[in-house]
Amino acid sequence: MKLRILSVVAIAVLLAACSSKKQETAATTAAATPPAAASPSGPAPDSIEYFNSVVGNVVNFGLDKYDLDAAAQSKLKGQATWLKQYPARTLTVEGHCDERGTREYNLGLGDRRANAVKAFLQAEGVAANRIKTISYGKERPMCVSSDEACYSKNRRGASVVQ
Amino acid sequence: MRNALKTFLRAAVVALLAVVIVAPTAHAEVRIDITRGRVEPMPIAVPSFPGNNDEMKQMGKDVADVIAKDLERSGLFRPLDQKAFLQELSSLDVQPRFADWRTLAAQALVQGSVEQQPNGQIRIAFRLWDVFGGQQMEGKGYGTDAGNWRRVAHMIADLIYSTITGESGYFDTRIVYIAESGPAINRVKRLAIMDQDGANHRYLTDGSALVLTPRFSPTGPEITYLSYFRNVPRVYLFNIDTGRQEVLGDFPGMTYAPRFAPDGNGVTFAAALNGNSDIYTMDLRSRRMTRLTDNPGIDTSPCFSPKGDQVAFASDRGGTQQIYVMNADGTNPQRISFGTGKGRYGTPVWSPRGDLIAFTRYATSDGNFYIGVMKPDGSGERLLAQGFLVEAPTWSPNGRVLMYFAQSPNGGRAKLFSIDLTGYNQREIVTPQDASDPAWSPLSP
């Protein structure tokens, strides 16, 4: 007795690219905050808390970018000034990315961003041996909503002072 | 008992020879062509294997269940409901009443047995029947420790699959992946391993260090992966059997994106120095390192061709991240991904058959991610799966199925999925926790 060959349906084309285009507004709105004198009730000027909240420890990047815009440069100048004032402090610069890239590419991009921050601080006179870098790619976001407002916050270089 | 088995084995050998002789006809009949897209699953009967004591009876039930589930998940077979069966096959020597199986529309029948041997070992044996032709297509017996029954069941399923499709199977394999837990901003990630059907799940790391991107050795029980152990991201080697771990090489910067060479004696990876990532290989025997790229762009995600003569990788040297292929010595890099519109391509993974490269694509036009395949010269691009974030394709060892992970927006669930190369038969691979970065093992030796 003959077996029937199973029916086969031809392969379908799988992709139809959608047309709607999302607007991508890479907003780097971080304002340049010049290091101000601490108010009597605020954190001590040599404290990590002061560095993080008054000097500002985070700079942001554009989509797929690792160049430092004016706001970022201004903040990093403040970081360099503070670091030179407190030479016992060392720091680790973390490079981070938004979630819209592959894991491995983002690790490379985060490394680029961390090193861009390091190079700037070095050029401002902070000794290279005080600055470590680490890339977290998209592994350690600051926020988790899937929108540009959050992505732009996650594309960052964070200076973690020890 | 022994004599009976010998008789059986002789019969099986004779049957195998007979299969070889009649194969051209039988094969052309009970056959699934899996290269042709969507296939109506073949009805197959997999009755519980009879056992020679209560324990073996239970095992025979479980063996048949594992085989049926493997075959069902492939999308190519439809195991029939056991309750409808008209004949009880009480031993391997009972001749099937093919008319009874035909009334159920079964095209193939798996007849088996599980026997405990006087020495405590077990013997699992089966015959695969072409129901309409009344011919044995395949038959084999396996002697082993009782603890190995699941593996034997997967091996039988592989043999059934390969007999009927003409392709090698992929059921006797494992998946290593990253198990995820905790909040999205501080995710705990652990290395985990399981059989391809989810059984024998266990964790290989405790979650104290962030771990990413595990990949199987093509030749041994070893994986290579990225660990942030002591807050330094480095490529590690991990022996699954011994638990032994070692860091790969001594680099001043981050090493990441590792994959084994096809002979298992080398690893290719990316290393970052002062913000620039390039591609390297290391010979695991001599520990000699070779630099393959020297470019100011980010070069990452290297993957050898199965012959070992070429390396595919991702690079943004041209402005956006695209896939390139170069010779294994780093010469002659050529961009192969172009696509339509503005697409960024990453994580190229060469098929074990060598004919295709799987990739992750991000389409700026619609903001979605895709898993797709293209030929090594960049032609014939096809997209297989789409989502908010789908990433990290890995091939079944026969090059017919891809596994990947999908992450929902807003820090939602991350899950593993498999899909046939045809783009059909998408299945979730159920894991105890959220899961990402799957890697498929070769067929177990």
CB within 8 Å: A107 and B39? no
Environment class of B51 (CB within 10 Å of its CB; exposed 0-12, middle 13-18, buried 19+): buried
- Cα(B80)–Cα(B383) distance, integer angstroms: 33
Q: Angle of helix B149-165 relative to helix B54-73, nearest 10 degrees?
A: 40
All structural domains of chain B, each given as residue ranges with its CATH number in brackets, are 2-165 (3.40.50.10070), 174-440 (2.120.10.30)
Task: Give the CA diameter of chain B.
Answer: 73
Q: What is the pLDDT of residue B29?
A: 61
- Kindly state the average pLDDT of the residues B8-22: 37
How many angstroms separate the CA of residue A38 from the nearest CA in chain B? 30
pLDDT, tens digit, for every residue of B67-84?
A: 999 999 999 999 999 999
CB within 8 Å: B346 and A101? yes
How many angstroms separate the CA of residue A13 from the nearest CA in chain B? 8
- Rounded to the nearest 5°, which phi and psi values hold at B183? -65, 150
Please name the residue that has the structure tokens 């285009």. A21
Q: What sign results for the dihedral spanned by CA atoms B293, B297, B298, B301?
A: negative
- The confidence band for A21, taking pLDDT boundaries of 50, 70 and 90, is very low
Q: What sign results for the dihedral spanned by CA atoms B381, B386, B391, B397?
A: negative
CB within 8 Å: A104 and B347? yes
CB within 8 Å: A112 and B42? no
Contacting residues for B361 by C-beta, under 8 A, at least 6 apart: B337, B339, B343, B344, B345, B346, B369, B370, B371, B372, B383
- Chain B residue with Cα closest to A66: B275
Contact list in B for residue A100 (CB cut-off 8 A) is 362, 367, 389
User: Between residues 52 and 71 of chain A, which touch chain B (CB distance below 8 Å)?
Assistant: 64, 66
How many angstroms separate the CA of residue B389 from the nearest CA in chain A? 8
pLDDT, tens digit, for every residue of A78-105?
A: 999 999 999 999 999 999 999 999 999 9
- Kindly state the average pLDDT of the residues A96-115: 97
| Consecutive H or E run containing A83 | helix A70-85
- Chain B residue with Cα closest to A96: B185
Distances (CA, A) of B199 to A39, A40, B138, B203: 61, 62, 27, 13
Chain A interface includes B22 (CB < 8 A): no
**Partner residue facing A141 (CB), from B184, B372, B389:** B184
Structure tokens at A155: 């594309």
Instruction: Answer yes or no: is pLDDT of A23 > 50.
Output: no
Strand partners, B227: B211, B234
| Consecutive H or E run containing B313 | strand B310-315
User: Between residues 21 and 40 of chain A, which touch chain B (CB distance below 8 Å)?
Assistant: 21-22, 24
- Kindly state the average pLDDT of the residues B151-175: 97
CA B209 to chain centre: 26
- Cα(B59)–Cα(B327) distance, integer angstroms: 50
Percent of chain B with pLDDT over 90: 86
Per residue, the 3-state secondary structure of B38-49, as one string, reads EECCEEEECCCC
Contact list in A for residue B323 (CB cut-off 8 A) is none
- Cα(B405)–Cα(B401) distance, integer angstroms: 14
- Kindly state the average pLDDT of the residues B19-36: 50
- Cα(B221)–Cα(B44) distance, integer angstroms: 34
Instruction: Answer yes or no: is pLDDT of B248 > 60.
Output: yes
- Cα(B369)–Cα(B346) distance, integer angstroms: 11
Q: Answer left, alpha or beta for residue B332, where phi above 0 means left and psi between -120 and 50 means alpha.
A: left
Q: How many CB atoms lie within 10 A of CB B183?
A: 9
Chain A interface includes B360 (CB < 8 A): yes
Q: What sign results for the dihedral spanned by CA atoms A129, A131, A136, A138?
A: negative
Contact between B301 and B357 (Cβ < 8 Å): no
- The confidence band for B9, taking pLDDT boundaries of 50, 70 and 90, is very low
Contacting residues for B83 by C-beta, under 8 A, at least 6 apart: none
Chain A interface includes B39 (CB < 8 A): yes
pLDDT, tens digit, for every residue of A53-73?
A: 999 999 999 999 999 999 999
All structural domains of chain A, each given as residue ranges with its CATH number in brackets, are 56-161 (3.30.1330.60)
DSSP H helix total and E strand total for chain B:
4, 30
For residue A8, the one-letter residue type is V
Instruction: Answer yes or no: is pLDDT of B366 > 60.
Output: yes
CB within 8 Å: B383 and A15? yes
Instruction: Answer yes or no: is pLDDT of B301 > 90.
Output: yes
Contact between B170 and B437 (Cβ < 8 Å): no
- Chain B residue with Cα closest to A142: B185
